[in-house]
Amino acid sequence: MSLPPSGPPPAPPEINLSFEDAGPPASPPPAPPRRSLRANTIIVMLGTLGSRLSGIVRQQIINLFDERLTDAFTVAVKVPNLLRELLAEGALVNSFIPVYKSLDTQGRRELAQTFSGVMMAVNLLLMALGILAAPLVVDLLLSGTSNVDRELAVYMTRLIMPFLMLISLSSVVMGLLNADEHFRESSFAPIAFNLASIAALLVLPDTATWLGVGWLLGGVAQLVVQLPALHRFGLLPTPRLGGHPALGRVLRQMAPFTLTAGARQILNVYVTSLLTNVQQFPKGTATGYANAEALFTMVNGLFVVSPVLAVFPRFSQAAADRDWDQFRRLTAQTIRTTTFLAAPMSALLVALAPYAVSLINLEAPAGQEALNKFAAGSGILTGWALALVPWALVTVLLRTFYARERTREAVMVSAAGFVLEVALYRLLVPSLGLSGFGLSTTVSGLLMTGALVYLYRRDVGFPGREVAGHLARVLPLAALAGLLAWALARVLPSPGFILQGLFGLTVAGGAGLALYLGGALALKLPEVGAVTRRLKR
């Protein structure tokens, strides 16, 4: 499993835990924020929510296709996704924004032109190589005794490969908008991807060709909807090939990050090979894995990645200003917010994973392959749910290193963590089955968190007492909420179909969440006040 890796001006000494503005700066920053941090966070979370919910609808429709198509499609989309993380989304956000924020207006414009031109050239080359080498790449992903149709996977891989260029350009646009804290258009662009894909899947025939074409149309939509905003804010670059003094800094930042992403891809390749081994797992398991991944990334994206994405430009500004007091306050604030949101979601997913996976099924599972797919999704999601809080901490802490341009240390920890995860998969999955995925991810996340906290504390002083006190209250409260949800689920109808899933999540999940919020109010956690105010609005 791969999870996303990833500063305001000086503020008053009191910590703002509800993502309000930190206060007037001592000196004006180069590019003052256009909205409050709270407003940016809400915009990103709403965009993520819309993206993930529409992504669930897209996955529901894909699940109506024959398992032979969906298993091959799951393998095919991994190829451009592996490459896009190496060059686009993660590397761009974590490497480009800190350098971009340190330049004046003219320098930013010239860097954007040069960087976008280089990205286009590299992606064109990779796209051509990916199409030519598709059989070799698919053989690398599939097990020797595969439960996936190899020829179909090769065909769909070649068909979907242009998606790499589309998503890379979209990521460049997203990075430019986010760097200047224009989050609305970039946050809602993935919704356009899903809506275009859904429309294509509903209108076009149920074949491998049109399944791939629908994916490409979504990539076009995600890019196009962001271009008017880029033009309106005067950020639309004219791509060019050439040099720029700051380009070397960006590439030096990207190089170690690419190494980290490469370590994750080793994990992805191994997981795909493992899932497609017919001697280990039955047909339908690869699609079940994709279903669990869609649900997990929805929760992780909404409650972890969105708040971190909104605050990352301010981490970068605080680092550029060398305002380490504000940097530490932002770190504590972001960790408290993300873990307050992630902890109950983790506990409720552990208790109610089969009900969550039922949301994917527009029809009750019928036939052995459909039942295999449902069982695989439920088992994998249950294990992954345990990893949500550790990886929330990793997500926040990694961004603090990238904002300070301390990429090498973050890369070393990340690469070691993912290598460890591969080793744990090899050790635990054969004996524990599907639950071995989640346990491996949880252990690696905890160890990475410990290493990152140590390095952070050595450099700028980690707010450990505040974070530990917060977790000591939040985690037991979340466990009680999950236990209540689990007990209620014992007397509810068995999951499997979307209506049963909605009923179980509403009744058992709602009761658990109410217990959590009630306990947070009783403990006077400051985060719950911000949540209730948003709910009232």
pLDDT in tens, 260-302: 555 566 666 677 777 777 667 777 787 788 888 888 888 888 8
0.95 exceeded by pTM: no
- Range with the lowest mean pLDDT among 37-41, 197-201, 331-335, 480-484? 37-41
Taking alpha carbons only, the member of 438, 351, 428 closest to residue 388 is 438
The answer to whether the CB of 496 falls within 8 A of the CB of 359 is no
Residue with tokens 């009680």: 480
**pLDDT higher than 50, residue 19:** no
Domain ranges of the chain: 37-536
Q: What is the mean pLDDT of residues 212-226?
A: 89
- Per-residue pLDDT tens over the stretch 409-433: 887 888 788 788 888 888 888 888 8
Q: What is the mean pLDDT of residues 190-210?
A: 85
- Per-residue pLDDT tens over the stretch 494-516: 888 888 889 999 999 999 999 99
Which residues 6+ apart lie within 8 Å of 467 measured at CB?
A: 332, 335, 336
Q: What is the pLDDT of residue 63?
A: 78
Cα 265 to Cα 269: distance, rounded to the nearest angstrom: 6
- Per-residue pLDDT tens over the stretch 345-373: 999 999 999 999 988 876 666 677 778 88
Cα 63 to Cα 69: distance, rounded to the nearest angstrom: 10
* Phi–psi pair at 280, nearest 5 degrees: -100, -45
